[in-house]
Every structure is written in structure tokens, then in C-alpha cells.
Chains A and B, each alone.
Chain A
């Protein structure tokens, strides 16, 4: 008798462990759809979106250029020494451009934005939550999801593709710097390889990824901040720090998971 109760308890525990992530996933999905709907509800919040584009997009340009340049340069180096073994170092342009446009650009740009803007979003909204500012919005009959999340989602959807494109272009130039200027591949050959190898599908795929990553990053970071008060492990400042950490970690993990899923669909 006692044994059967223990087994039942263990099963119930297992069930609890399974149910809570699923519930969380559902909440995130509902949160995302509410934000997405309010992106188009009148009056449009264009000025807030512009502010957020400035924060998410413009302020990330420098770090995106820096990481893009070095990613391209390292791809140039690695690609050169790999391709030279097969005597086809002329393909370097293709290797750099394709790996940047298909993979590195969208993923690394998204991860850099998470580190720069995603953590800030989670912390800002988390602090607004614990200092009752979100409650205050509700008492003013201002929908907090619309007011806080929608502009960030919209701005992310605008900024990510641009940042990805900047990352790609800077990366291709970085590959040119190492491949042509340092290692001596003919620069005309490099760029003609870049141009001839990249197809429209590759570019579309890269942009499709960056749109998905934008939605994932904005949703996860804002959701973590928004639900700071529901955390069981910590309240107040501790809760905000936990929200920020989990926003960054979850976003990065989800970017890579989504990248795999998207790649397998796109190819």
C-alpha cells in the first residue's frame, strides 16, 4: 500500500516536471501573440518603435561591425588554409560569403544583440515590474504588453535583418582583408566568387532566420522581465538579476535550436 503511494507520488512529481515547462511555453506563446497583435492596434506607436530601433539597432551597429569584421577575417584565414590543401583557394570568396550569409550572420548578429540589448530589455522591464510601474500602467488603463513589448518586438523585427545584412557585408569585406590583402588571392577572383556562389535562396534564408531570431529574442527577453514577480527563487533585485540571466541564456539557446530547425527546413 505504502509502496503504491510512493509510486503515485513519483509519477505525480514527474507529471509536475513535465507540465510546468509546457505551461510556460504556452504563456510565452500567448505573450508573443498579444504583443504581435498590439503591434498593429491603433494608434500606432511609431515614436516608441523608433526609440527602440535606435536602442536595439543603431547602438548595436558598432559591435556588429566589429564582430562581423573579425568573423569574416577568421573565416578567411581558416578557409584559406583548408582550401589551399585542395588547391582551390580561389573558392575562398564563396566559402566566406556562404557561411556568413547562411549561418554566421544571422546567428552571431542575434547573439550580439541579445548580449547588448536583450539583457537590457529584461532588466528594464523587470525593474518596472518590481517597482509596480507595470501595475501603474494597468491602473491607467494602458495595456502593458502593448506599451512595453510591442514596440520592442517591432523594433527587433526591423533591426535584426538590417544588422544581419551589415554583419554579412562587413564579414565579406573582412574575408577579403585576410584572403586578398594578407594571403594574396586575386581580389577580382574573390569578389567574383562571392557574387557567383551566392543565390537568392541563401539570402532569403538568412533573412528568414533573422526575422525568427528577432521574434524569439524580443519575446523571451521581454517575457522574462515581465514575469519577474512570478519567480520563486528570488524577489526584488535578485529576481531582476535572475530574469536577466535567464533571458540571455534562454535566448542564446533558443537561437541555436531555432537555427537548426530553420536550416533543416530551408535546405
Chain B
């Protein structure tokens, strides 16, 4: 088996008395979309923030291409960070900047990219996400769904190798949700980026992700392919999938 791109090795994290991660083992492979599912407030976002280094583990290691991030030099870390892009759950758009400036910011601050190229890349991305015509609006003037798409445009504009999505489709209407999922899947095929996605969209994630990991009680209770999780007999998993969306496991009981 190939070396995982990102590997969690017994990662612990607690905030005050509240232990959130209690020994997480997780492997994320290159070129795949890995979905992390689990109950709300279980620490999925915390897990995602560890990948990009916003949070540091209390114990355990996170390996990137087989190398522990904690042992890397500052330059190596920077190089790794350049490959990542993160889409926040709360969008985290800069509300003092217009939509255009928001999307252009990651390109601008990297420097060395000519102005014209920035403009064309931003316009492309906005067009792909159905956001044409709102370039000069400010995030507070947009609806929640539009903000999500702007945040997605901002995450994808740098053509990152690894994209971390924190609930990219929560709060979108079904049509836009499907469009967003389709776009993630399509992009993933085109550019071959590695995706890590925290999501509640139980049936949908099975179509766009190659791997599913489930977080419960501070541990990864399951990781594997979509078929495996749908066929799982583990009560926690079955309960979760069924509880979240009963129709989604229509196939599963009939197989048994």
C-alpha cells in the first residue's frame, strides 16, 4: 500500500478539561476525497484544523508524506502550507473587502503574479461558481449560500494540491448543493487535488468521496471506502447513517 499523504498517529487534543481528540489514527491518500463524518460538535473541525497547523496536537504526530510536521523546519512547513487551502465552516470572508478582493487576496499576497493574471484567474473562478456580477459587493450584502460559494472560490483560486472543506454545502439549497458537490468532484478529477471534507450530507458524500472516515468519541471509529461503510454492521455507524438520513441506507438493509 502507498504511503498516505497525511497521516494522524495517535493524536490527542483537549481544550481545558474537554478532551476532544483521544488518539486519532487517520490516513488520507493522495488524489482522493476523504469525507469525515460524525455528530455535530464531535471535533471534526478541530481535526481539520490540525491538518493545516492552525492547532497543534497535545500528543501524537501528524505526518505529511511520511514526515512528522513537528520535526520540519520553518521553510519546509511553509512549503507544505503552500499546498493547502482551507474553506471555513463560517466562511471567514474578509468583510471589509469586496468579493473580488476576497478571492484575489491569496493570489495577491503570494506576490510575483502579474496583475492581469490575477484578474483573469479570479474572474474565471467566479464565473465557474455562478458568482458573476457581485464582484463589488461586500460579504455582508450576500446570502449565506453565496458566501459559501465565494469562500469556495477563494479556497480554489490558488489551484491548491490539498483542499480542506469544512462543511462546504451546509446551508445551500438542494440545487446549489448538488452543483457544489458536482464541482468538487469535477475539480477533483480535473486537477487531481486531494480533498478532505467535513460534511453532514450523508447520501451525497458517498458519491463524491472515495474514502469515508467517521469520528466518534474522540476516535476514528471507521475509515474505508463508501461501500464498506454502507455495509458496516457496526451499530454506531449504522445508527448514525440511518439517523441522519433514513433513505440513504435503503440499499443496506435489503442486502442483509
Please, which residues of chain A bring their CB within 8 A of the CB of B110?
A: 141
- Known contacts A140-B109, A142-B105; A131/B92 CB under 8 A: yes
Contact of B109 among A131, A135, A147 (CB under 8 A): A147
B62 at the interface (CB under 8 A from A): no
Binding site secondary structure of chain A: helix
A43 at the interface (CB under 8 A from B): yes
Minimum CB–CB distance for A148 against chain B, Å = 10
Q: In the complex, which residues 28-81 of chain B have their Cβ closer than 8 Å to any Cβ of chain A?
A: 49, 52-54, 78, 81
Contact of A43 among B52, B78, B111 (CB under 8 A): B111
CB distance B52 to A132 under 8 Å? no
Minimum CB–CB distance for A226 against chain B, Å = 15
CB distance A140 to B54 under 8 Å? no
A140 to B88 CA separation, bound complex (whole angstroms): 12
- Known contacts A141-B78, A141-B81, A147-B109; A135/B54 CB under 8 A: yes
Smallest Cβ-Cβ distance to B158: which chain A residue: A140
A135 to B87 CA separation, bound complex (whole angstroms): 11
Please, which residues of chain A bring their CB within 8 A of the CB of B109?
A: 140-142, 147
- Known contacts A141-B78, A141-B81; A135/B92 CB under 8 A: yes
B193 at the interface (CB under 8 A from A): no
B90 at the interface (CB under 8 A from A): yes
A201 at the interface (CB under 8 A from B): no
Please, which residues of chain A bring their CB within 8 A of the CB of B84?
A: 139
Smallest Cβ-Cβ distance to A127: which chain B residue: B95
CB distance B96 to A139 under 8 Å? no
Contact of B105 among A131, A132, A140 (CB under 8 A): A140
Size class of the contact patch on chain A: 10 to 19
Minimum CB–CB distance for B216 against chain A, Å = 25
B residues apposed to A, CB below 8 Å:
49, 52-54, 78, 81-82, 84-86, 88, 90, 92-96, 105-106, 109-111, 158
Name the 7 nearest CB pairs between A and B, nearest first.
Answer: A139-B86, A136-B92, A132-B92, A140-B106, A142-B109, A141-B81, A133-B92
Please, which residues of chain B bring their CB within 8 A of the CB of A141?
A: 78, 81-82, 109-110
Please, which residues of chain A bring their CB within 8 A of the CB of B49?
A: 135
CB distance A132 to B88 under 8 Å? yes
CB distance B94 to A132 under 8 Å? no
A136 to B54 CA separation, bound complex (whole angstroms): 9
Please, which residues of chain B bring their CB within 8 A of the CB of A132?
A: 88, 90, 92
Smallest Cβ-Cβ distance to B83: which chain A residue: A141
Minimum CB–CB distance for A44 against chain B, Å = 11
Contact of A131 among B52, B82, B95, B158 (CB under 8 A): B95
CB distance A124 to B81 under 8 Å? no
- Known contacts A139-B86, A142-B106; A133/B52 CB under 8 A: no
A138 to B109 CA separation, bound complex (whole angstroms): 12
- Known contacts A142-B109, A147-B109; A136/B86 CB under 8 A: yes
A141 to B52 CA separation, bound complex (whole angstroms): 10
Please, which residues of chain B bring their CB within 8 A of the CB of A133?
A: 92-95
Cβ proximity bits A25-47 to B, threshold 8 Å, 1 near / 0 not:
00000000000000000010000
A135 to B52 CA separation, bound complex (whole angstroms): 10
A49 at the interface (CB under 8 A from B): no
A128 to B97 CA separation, bound complex (whole angstroms): 12
Minimum CB–CB distance for A225 against chain B, Å = 13
Contact of B96 among A124, A136, A147 (CB under 8 A): A124
Scoring A132, A133, A140 by chain B CB atoms within 10 A of each residue's CB, the highest score goes to A140
Smallest Cβ-Cβ distance to A42: which chain B residue: B111
- Known contacts A43-B111, A147-B109; A139/B93 CB under 8 A: no
Minimum CB–CB distance for B68 against chain A, Å = 20
Smallest Cβ-Cβ distance to B54: which chain A residue: A135
Minimum CB–CB distance for B190 against chain A, Å = 22
Smallest Cβ-Cβ distance to A134: which chain B residue: B92
CB distance A128 to B90 under 8 Å? no
CB distance B95 to A139 under 8 Å? no
A131 to B93 CA separation, bound complex (whole angstroms): 8
A139 to B55 CA separation, bound complex (whole angstroms): 11
Please, which residues of chain A bring their CB within 8 A of the CB of B95?
A: 127, 131, 133
Smallest Cβ-Cβ distance to B111: which chain A residue: A43
CB distance A128 to B94 under 8 Å? yes
A142 to B92 CA separation, bound complex (whole angstroms): 14
Please, which residues of chain A bring their CB within 8 A of the CB of B81?
A: 139, 141
A139 to B53 CA separation, bound complex (whole angstroms): 8
Scoring A124, A132, A138 by chain B CB atoms within 10 A of each residue's CB, the highest score goes to A132
Cβ proximity bits A133-159 to B, threshold 8 Å, 1 near / 0 not:
101101111100001000000000000
Minimum CB–CB distance for A184 against chain B, Å = 52
Please, which residues of chain A bring their CB within 8 A of the CB of B111?
A: 43
Smallest Cβ-Cβ distance to A141: which chain B residue: B81
Minimum CB–CB distance for A15 against chain B, Å = 21
